[in-house]
Amino acid sequence: DFMDGCKPWQPNLLSATSTLEMGIDIGDLSSLLLCSVPPAQANYLQRIGRAGRRDGNAFSLTLAAGVPHDLYFYADPLQMIAGRIEPPGVFLNASAVISRQLTAYCMDRWVATGLQDDAIPRTLKPVLDSVKKGEIHHFPFNFIAFVKGHALPMLDGFFDLFQGELTDATKETLRQFILGEGVNDGLEMRLVKRLHEMVIERDGFKKQIDQLKRHLDRLVKQPKDEATLEEIEEVERERAALQAMLRRLNGRQALNFLTDEGVIPNYAFPEEGVTLRSVIYRRKQAVQEGERQYENLVYEYERPGAAAISELVPKNHFYAGGRQVAISQVDVELSELESWRFCPSCAFARQHTGQDNTLECPRCGDPMWADSGQSTTMLRLKQVMANTSDRESRIGDDSDDRDSRFFNKQMLVDINPQGVGPAYRIVSDERPFGFEFVRCATFREINFGEYGLGAETSIAGELLARTGFSLCKHCGTVQAGASGSQKHAYSCQVGRKRPDDEENLVDCLYLYREFTSEALRILLPVFVNEGADQPLNSFIAALQLGLKLKFGGQVDHLRVMTYSEPVAESDSRRRYLMLYDSVPGGTGYLQDLMQSPQTLVEVFRLAYERMTACSCNQEADKDGCYRCLYAYKNSYGMESTSRTTAVEMLGMILDSADRFETIKSIDDIQVN
């Protein structure tokens, strides 16, 4: 109706998210309003390009919000309207990219041998059946067998496509990937392990459905008073919802699953995601005898782990498709409850199954490691559920207010000393500077619950109130609070038998996501003192500029964090800058940077030359611009980002670029 409608009552106004910039055909627009300044010129042109397609004429208006990024272009709009478009670049030796291309290549070679139409099932159900039964002649085992039998010839054919573009290190990584010989999951393990998790999830649905059926049979035999009829209705509704989720899982497209899981190429690097299964139920208006009174609509949303750790947590609301649903249940079967102990001083933590009798932190030696307050219950967030009535889920026009909740989160990075190297430092007592490659660091982001008052606990040097979440440990149903009665799913046998037993609940549960990846750890003495925002933000921006120039495009999967570690036999702490790859296992970008110290020096030199040659040097009121140092992802710190400071810091490093030496670890660098 929006595209073709001509009647007065048909819609002529469309409100949309920035996804519209992807080129969806919405017909002819005469005018367009942007509610904020887009991140870059390419985004701006894509968005305003939705209007004026028929005759080339349109009115486009952009509102600048009161944030540094928007205000910058409000003062100089031509930089956005007529600015330079930077083409994207491709780094072919990124292992996470090239391994997916290799898998797709292997699948192409397999298909080219002449397969039956059903060799790759259309939906996930027969695939999961094959994995559960171990049917080696069906997918994915038939594909895996073909890869094993033709691995080396296919590798040679794949390498020939790139005509010398791939390095020897990349070729070795791909060889280990296809043969399953490396420390990271190979093709077979990556594919089968995830499918096995889906089998466990499906079996969980079936188990709950059977339990509810037995409970329903018992209820039907009881006298039909009002309470029993109400319980029958609720049990039927819960069972129907589980059946709907089971049908959706079985009916998922098999090739979609492979792309979503990052097995074959996708539009982006998929992080390990968290799934929301949202069931919207509504009563049928006319019900035939023997028919269910409710129908269920099942929606499935997957959010990257970095976003889900805040968005898909207990009692939080999720907004999509014109509906709002509250997270009411966490899957405690797909991801089990775990006991963890944290060091109050450093980022070391470990899971334990019994009594932990260690008296001090194995990493830094802190004796408070043994304190009972440092032990807690955690759950790795993988899947959550929401069960909402159709009426309650609808977002009305009377209010656009959203229920915002804020959480205490902390990213912990645990570095095994055995996985560090090479490391380099500048030979200088006046300018202590060094960096090292971390082959395998564990990144663990934890949601400690909502901001609020409560007992404070120190973890990795940060003292915070960590209230956690309250769940049923058997079914994962979210609890309203300490004063309310317990809530349980009807399939929860333990909770139904002992509904008031405190042993049913875990009162202070922390949720986390975890991945291992490669990283670059940098020591800068200027960061030792807290509150040095300008040198910190300026150096980060300069580093990101150099990476973009080095790799020929955006490298948003390379992210930056700061953290501190205790100094041995001292009360002081040393701060570090960590450049890490957010793609689990790493893409190879950072490994390429650490071929020699001069490779990273080249990154600094590229950034230095861009900043010193930028035209904003001639403008007295500008200490940086979007042609050089500024970037949208750093807009929150733009007011404390200085080109002058960044040039000075990089200049000091470049002046000593010929004085690098190899060391064991940057922890050995002395800083006064």
Are 162 and 171 within 8 A, CB to CB?
A: no
Q: Is the dihedral of CA 183, 185, 186, 189 positive or negative?
A: positive
Residue 1 CB coordination number (10 Å): 10
Read off the pLDDT of residues 265-279 as tens digits, 9 standing for 90 and up.
876 666 678 989 998
Nearest C-alpha neighbor of 461 from the set 372, 344, 571 = 344
Q: DSSP class of residue 620?
A: T
Residues 6 or more apart whose CB falls under 8 angstroms from that of 618 comprise none
Mean pLDDT of 649-666: 90
Confidence of residue 26 (pLDDT cuts 50, 70, 90): confident
Q: How far is the C-alpha of 19 from the C-alpha of 41, rounded, in Å?
A: 16
Can you give the pTM of this predicted structure? Answer: 0.84
The identity of residue 568, as a single letter, is A
309-332 as b/e: b if 16+ CB within 10 A: bbbbbbbbebeeeebbbbbbbbbb
Torsions phi, psi for 591 (to 5 deg):
-60, -35
Q: How far is the C-alpha of 346 from the C-alpha of 355, rounded, in Å?
A: 21
Residue 71 CB coordination number (10 Å): 15
Instruction: Give 3-state DSSP helix, strand, coil % of the chain, rounded to 5.
Output: 40, 25, 40
Q: What does the mean pLDDT of the chain come to? A: 87
Q: Is the dihedral of CA 202, 204, 210, 216 positive or negative?
A: negative
CA distances to 207, 471, 602 from 200, in Å: 10, 21, 49
- Better-predicted residue by pLDDT, 341 or 496: 341
Residues 6 or more apart whose CB falls under 8 angstroms from that of 589 comprise 91, 94, 547, 551, 555, 557, 558, 581
- 3-state SS assignment for residue 277: strand
Are 239 and 245 within 8 A, CB to CB?
A: no
> Is residue 129 pLDDT above 90, yes or no?
yes
CA distances to 196, 199, 406, 536 from 131, in Å: 7, 8, 41, 50
pLDDT > 70 fraction of the chain, expressed in percent and rounded: 94
Are 421 and 436 within 8 A, CB to CB?
A: yes
Read off the pLDDT of residues 211-246 as tens digits, 9 standing for 90 and up.
999 989 999 899 888 888 888 888 888 888 889 889
Residue 422, Cβ density class (10 Å: 0-12 exposed, 13-18 middle, ≥19 buried) = middle
Tokens coding 567: 């100094």
Are 187 and 258 within 8 A, CB to CB?
A: no
Q: How far is the C-alpha of 197 from the C-alpha of 132, rounded, in Å?
A: 10
User: Which run of H or of E encompasses 516?
Assistant: strand 505-523
Beta bridge partners of 276: 301, 384
Nearest C-alpha neighbor of 320 from the set 298, 301, 296, 306 = 301
pLDDT of residue 90: 72
pLDDT of residue 23: 67
Nearest C-alpha neighbor of 184 from the set 406, 354, 439, 562 = 439
Q: How far is the C-alpha of 620 from the C-alpha of 80, rounded, in Å?
A: 21
- 3-state SS assignment for residue 159: helix
Nearest C-alpha neighbor of 499 from the set 527, 479, 529 = 479
Torsions phi, psi for 258 (to 5 deg):
-65, -35
> Is residue 449 pLDDT above 60, yes or no?
yes
- Better-predicted residue by pLDDT, 502 or 184: 502
Read off the pLDDT of residues 283-332 as tens digits, 9 standing for 90 and up.
777 666 656 667 888 888 888 889 999 999 998 999 887 789 999 999 99
Torsions phi, psi for 83 (to 5 deg):
-75, 170
Residue 108, Cβ density class (10 Å: 0-12 exposed, 13-18 middle, ≥19 buried) = exposed
Nearest C-alpha neighbor of 309 from the set 384, 359, 381 = 381
495-520 as b/e: b if 16+ CB within 10 A: beeeeeeeebbbebbbbbbbbbbbbb
Bridge-based pairing of strands 31-34 and 59-62 is: parallel
Torsions phi, psi for 16 (to 5 deg):
-145, 165
Lowest-confidence range among 92-101, 120-129, 614-623?
Answer: 92-101
pLDDT of residue 527: 45
Lowest-confidence range among 44-48, 84-88, 244-248, 453-457?
Answer: 84-88
- 3-state SS assignment for residue 663: strand
> Is residue 20 pLDDT above 80, yes or no?
no
Residue 42 CB coordination number (10 Å): 16
Read off the pLDDT of residues 382-434 as tens digits, 9 standing for 90 and up.
999 999 988 888 876 555 566 678 899 999 998 888 888 889 999 887 778 89
Q: How far is the C-alpha of 109 from the C-alpha of 34, rounded, in Å?
A: 46
Read off the pLDDT of residues 490-544 as tens digits, 9 standing for 90 and up.
888 888 788 888 889 998 999 999 988 899 999 876 544 445 688 889 999 999 9
- The Cβ-side half-sphere exposure at 345, using a 13 Å CA radius, reads 22
Confidence of residue 108 (pLDDT cuts 50, 70, 90): very high
The identity of residue 450, as a single letter, is E
pLDDT of residue 273: 81
pLDDT of residue 122: 95
Residue 191, Cβ density class (10 Å: 0-12 exposed, 13-18 middle, ≥19 buried) = buried
**Residue tagged 């150099």 (tokens):** 546
Listed in order, strand segments (DSSP E) in 430-504 are: 434-450, 456-459, 462-465, 469-472
Preceding peptide of 422 cis, ω within 30° = yes
Q: ∠ CA 357-359-361 to the nearest 5 degrees?
A: 110
pLDDT > 90 fraction of the chain, expressed in percent and rounded: 45
Q: How far is the C-alpha of 428 from the C-alpha of 409, rounded, in Å?
A: 38
Tokens coding 307: 């976003």
